[in-house]
Amino acid sequence: MLSNNKIKTPEKTEIDIVKGEIKPITKGEADWISWRGIRGDGRSTVSGIKTDWSDGLKKTWEIDYLCRGEDSATWSAPVIQGNRLVVCGRDEEKDVVFCLDPEDGSLIWKQAYQAQTTASYGTGFRATPWIDDERVYTFGRGGDITCWSLLDGYKIWHKNVNDEGGKEPTWGHSSSPLVTGNLVIVNGGGTARTIAYDKMNGKLIWKTGSGPAGYAAISMMEIGGEPVALSFHGKGRYIYFRRSHLRAVRGQLSNRSRELGGNGRNGYRLSR
């Protein structure tokens, strides 16, 4: 992952999938399955967390093979469910997804796919994955939306938003996927600003709107008792800033939408 510190390029570590029996998937009270947590509000339900950190924290484990230097740096946050911690990485040519044991950092599975991206601020993931029971969804900066088996990393399906008219924004696709009902929804940009796929098989359910893809995560809320997905996007170039818009997409299987408007510096919200 990329920080303000200089990234050291690690040696070519050989990474092997753990041999032997794969442990069944578990769940825990501290699970954090998506960018804003299990409830989508950024708050944990766990109590009794240590508040006095004056003595620091003991390092339990460390890994150094997620990326290959600054050119492949990623901005994606890890997600966790029980005994599975999923974190994204990048090598010279591929997007890489790692599943680790959170207790000791050992590798449970690793998967990758070829992905051509631009190099601005690293070619790796921006969007944070979403764990949905026995599946995990990743969204690469080049527009690859992929569903993996959380158990063993089997690739269930793989799509790219460009095939539906999507377009990679300046700093890469950064909006974390939203899983709701039978859908996984992402910001596609281009002529497919918001796209909904069947979460089980990757079939296109609907797409709506046009304009640059926003960087903020799509979120759910209710308006008038009806569930809507809120999607930020950039629209129209002005001097020093773009105009940002908030789009409300109504219904689980609907592509009806309504512009809510709003101004934002540089046209995009940067939370993922």
What's the CATH number of domain 70-267, 1.20.1260.10, 2.10.109.10, 2.60.120.380, 2.130.10.10?
2.130.10.10
| 192 vs 258 pLDDT, higher one | 192
CA dihedral of 95, 151, 194, 1, whole degrees rounded to 10 = -40
Residues 74, 66: contact at Cβ < 8 Å? yes
pLDDT bracket for residue 100 (50, 70, 90)? very high
Q: What is the pLDDT of residues 148-204, one digit of tens each?
A: 999 999 999 999 999 999 999 888 899 999 999 999 999 999 999 899 999 999 999
CA 131/CA 185 separation, integer angstroms? 14
Q: What is the separation, in whole angstroms, between the first and last Cα of the chain? A: 14
Residue boundaries of the structural domains of the chain: 70-267
103 C-beta neighbours (distance < 10 Å), count: 10
User: So what's the pLDDT on residue 170?
Assistant: 85
The DSSP result for 29-98, as a single string, is TT-B-STT-TTSSS-----------TT----------S-SSGGG---PPPEEETTEEEEEEE-SSEEEEE
User: So what's the pLDDT on residue 236?
Assistant: 43
Cα angle: 158, vertex 162, 167; to 5 degrees: 135
The tokens describing 246, both together, are 């908030």
**Is the confidence at residue 13, as pLDDT, over 50?**
no
